[in-house]
Amino acid sequence: MKKYAVISGDIVSSTSLGETARVELYGQLEKLVLKLMQDFDCYARISKGDYIECVCRRPSEALRIALIIKSYIKSLDLKVKKNNSRTKNFSTHGLRMAIGYGELGILDTENDIIDGQAIFMAGRKINAYSSHNKERVVLKQTTFFVSEEEQLNFHLSPNFALLDVLCNKATAKQSEVLYFKLQGMTETEIAEKLGVSQSVINQHSTALGWNAIEESVEYYKNIIKQALK
């Protein structure tokens, strides 16, 4: 049976954002979902307002797509209370996400029905670390890979943990640069789009550790391609 990668993502501390910020966030997520389906061979949807799922028909692209989602959310300029610890969690982490790699018994996009091993594993991983209805939230890691193939877990889990540290340290501006770089834009193109100099974009790229992120994305891509052979 064909293998898929399913990204399940839960917005961190979304209920603490306030109604205005949540409405704006959900509107931005809708735009992002449409763009992902236009640019990649995937099916994406939003449920419960703050939960995003994306089925990648090309599993090797899943990490790039997942980081696009995370960096996009972290780059948003939402009006939130900066001194609130829970909104600070949102600004730092943006999205808690897991990539589940495995089979799907049902992928009926017309009726919005997805069922199978890959989506179950990703969802279960996210639910295990959910911060909903918790008074005190301690986030140690927000980016995960899960499969039933232990060798894949062994090779990829440390990679995801390191990526998590880099992405969570990134500022909103750095996350914006990461969002565009993951889509293949050059620093010159990004500078023109944002109305700044190329040197500013280069500084952001260096500060967020772009070279390491790019290598990690390629590493994941190659590992998954080997697994699919």
Give pLDDT tens digits for 76-89: 887 766 656 667 77
pLDDT at 131: 53
Identify the bridge partners of residue 126 per DSSP, sorted by sequence position: none
Mean pLDDT of 41-61: 93
Which CATH number characterizes residue 63's domain?
A: 3.30.70.270
Name the residue with higher pLDDT: 74 or 135.
Answer: 74
Residue 17 — φ and ψ, nearest 5°? -75, -25
Asked if residue 141 has pLDDT above 70, the reply is yes
d(CA 8, CA 225): 21
- Assess contact for 44 and 53: CB atoms under 8 A: yes
DSSP state of 129: T
Q: In Å, what is the CA distance from 144 to each residue of 20, 109, 119, 123, 163?
A: 30, 25, 13, 11, 10
Query: Which stretches of the chain are assigned E, i.e. beta strand?
Result: 3-11, 42-47, 51-56, 95-103, 106-108, 113-115, 143-147
Helices 198-208 and 172-181 pack at an angle, to 10 degrees, of 100
For residue 116, is it left (φ>0), alpha (ψ between -120 and 50) or beta? left
The count of domains in the chain is 1
DSSP state of 61: G
What's at 11, amino acid-wise? I
pLDDT grade, residue 57 (50/70/90)? very high
The whole domain housing 137 covers 3-228
Mean pLDDT of 86-104: 85
pLDDT at 20: 83
Residue 179 — φ and ψ, nearest 5°? -55, -45
- CA-based nearest residue to 146, from 164, 107, 120: 120
pLDDT tens digits along 187-215: 999 999 999 999 999 999 999 999 999 99
154 burial (CB, 10 Å; 0-12 / 13-18 / 19+) is: exposed
Among the residue ranges 25-39, 135-149, 201-215, the one predicted with the least confidence is 135-149
Asked if residue 137 has pLDDT above 70, the reply is no
Name the residue with higher pLDDT: 106 or 17.
Answer: 106
Place of tokens 């939003």: 46
Q: In Å, what is the CA distance from 181 to each residue of 15, 117, 170, 187, 208?
A: 30, 31, 14, 8, 12
Q: In what order do the strands lie in the sheet with 143-147?
A: 42-47, 51-56, 3-11, 95-103, 143-147
Q: Are strands 42-47 and 106-108 parallel, antiparallel or unpaired?
A: unpaired
